[in-house]
Structure 1
Amino acid sequence: MSAATQPLSEPHSEVLQSPESSSEAPVSSVRNDEFSTSVDFFLPNIHPVTRQLTTMTDYITDVAVSINAIDEQNLQEQGYRIINENLNKGTGGARIFLWYKTGANRAAAITKLQVSFNEGMTEGLNRAGYTKITKNLNAGTGGKPMYLWYFKGSGEYDTPIERLSVTTSAPNEGRKLKNGWERLACDLNRGVCGYYIHIWMKRSEHTYICDVDATDSYGVDEDNFRDGYIRIDEDTNRSNPSSFVFIWYRQTTNPDRGLTDLQISNDNKERERYQQQGYKSADANLNDQSGGEPVYLWYKKTKADDPIEDVTLIVNENVVQDYKKNGINVIEKNLNAGSNNKIYLCFKN
């Protein structure tokens, strides 16, 4: 059963789940479900200057996935730490967990995470040098195979990841975005019953969105990955299983390079208005071959002092008000117009 068609009685439609449904360690202690060795994590009341001088960071250097007790035992013996949230929660499938290692060597740090849920998505990742974790995140659910990938880069658009987290509760999402967490858009229970499950990360430096694009084929995936782009791993054209459309973005640590606004057009008048206002558009129709109006992503960069820090997609309408309450910009124009799927672009300045 598709997540977009879940009845309200299913966990995928629940919005008022327990706020504890997030593996985020409290400031007062360190658990095995999230990790950072920054001094300011342990001592939040130190003067900012002191924090800057004494911070010593470990980076996420390895990630792994367990789908059974044998995997768990093996990963423990190899020194991995577990994030104690079941990535298959609510499905009746295998208990699946995300694991990680850390280290002080920046050159060994993971800088990007991606998810694939069809064969086409894997080709560019493979050719661009991403590492696939060969454990199906949908194991035992009857859903299509889904895999996590990672990349260790040192280029201009690579910023190390130093903390990981997992949420299984919609009310946690807006607060995490507000607090600087970056969200993998793909629901790890995509296409099956269960809770909305998302992996989150924090980077070692503050980042800003400096470029966006959109593609309606897999032909340029390798080039995009090699050029430092991150794919938002949720298809904006979910109603058409033969035409996958994805939004991409690049990050910079330089706020002066950050974009300052994003917009969505779904008719000719809006397209003309955004052109007149100096916006530029991504090439691909986000609603390709769906039967609905063409939908385009528009972006703009001005000299404003509030560059965009994060961008993602949401397919769960129940989180819209929570995102807005936490200061997240939600563009309530359906990217999959003309279908029953509701997909919204949101971003944080």
Structure 2
Amino acid sequence: MELMKKFWEKAKADVKKIVLPEGEEERNIIASAIVKKEGLAELILLGNAEKIKSKAKELNVDIEGIQIIDPAFSQKFSTYTKEFYELRKNKGITMEKSEKMVKDPMYFGTMMVKLGDADGLVSGAIHTTGDLLRPGLQVIKTAPGITTVSSFFVMLVPDCEYGSNGMFLFSDCAVNPNPTAEQLASIAISTAETAKNLFDMDPKVAMLSFSTKGSAEHEFVDKVRRATEIAKELRPDLQIDGELQLDAALVKKVAAQKAPESSVAGLANVLIFPDLQSGNIGYKLVQRLAKAEAIGPICQGFAKPINDLSRGCSAEDIVNVVAITAVQAQNIIK
């Protein structure tokens, strides 16, 4: 895949330190050996060293030289526990509770990223999205100017005349079930920035609806209109427009009829869905019916990169998300 080759090359050019909290899990061990061999990142595996090395031997993969940390026995455990307590004491966290939570590899790994001992985190082969988001929101929090953490999929559609030669970003397809207008605006801005900074795209952002420029009236449409207004007010430098039906967003002939004054209609390469139901259905329809490659979900909006995996992911998927996370880390302004 040409896109991932570019990410691999970028990751190799400025190697970052990525922590994998699910260090004892088989696919993570296989992926770690590939990441090490290709030089994509400096990895840290969390878990019991004996178990991890024994599994690697069984799998016949080389993880020699990869750092392994057991959270409960780490020299940094006390530091992380105290820091987490300070972060959360106003939320009722005691030192005893902090110690218990930081023993959890998800929290320990997130504290590593927070305190600069790792540049990014990848998890989700055996944990849920909620298991990733909770410590992320409590510890890493959102990037400056961003109020909503969200996700996106890179959609690579073969033999497609639309978007950026068949490439699109779809958002949000995994995190926010029913975003408010303000959250939807934040998602649009985040995804436009992701398109520019991570994929070198010229983002043309369509705020999708079942209405185009007043063709229908409904509270669902009102939310998308308001989100478009907010996004434009906050970032007048970005090309964001709505509300647009999908055909008006993508097809020039339809755009000329339905939204002739729009600079986005007919040219959109970033599609913002009004809610999680439509986003999830949309990306899966394109993936299955158009035989598109769907890369993601990738998180955006955190102050530092932490990313989720599907529990059905392959070792190759983990390698690719590690590479993307490493490139995201390169773009963090310190």
Q: Give the TM bin, normalised by the shorter chain.
A: under 0.3
Q: Which has the higher strand share?
A: 1
Structure 1 length as normaliser, TM-score?
Answer: 0.25
Structure 2 length as normaliser, TM-score?
Answer: 0.25
Structure with greater Cα Rg: 2
Compare relative contact order (CA 8 Å, sep 6+) and give the higher one, 1 or 2.
2
Q: Which has the higher helix share?
A: 2
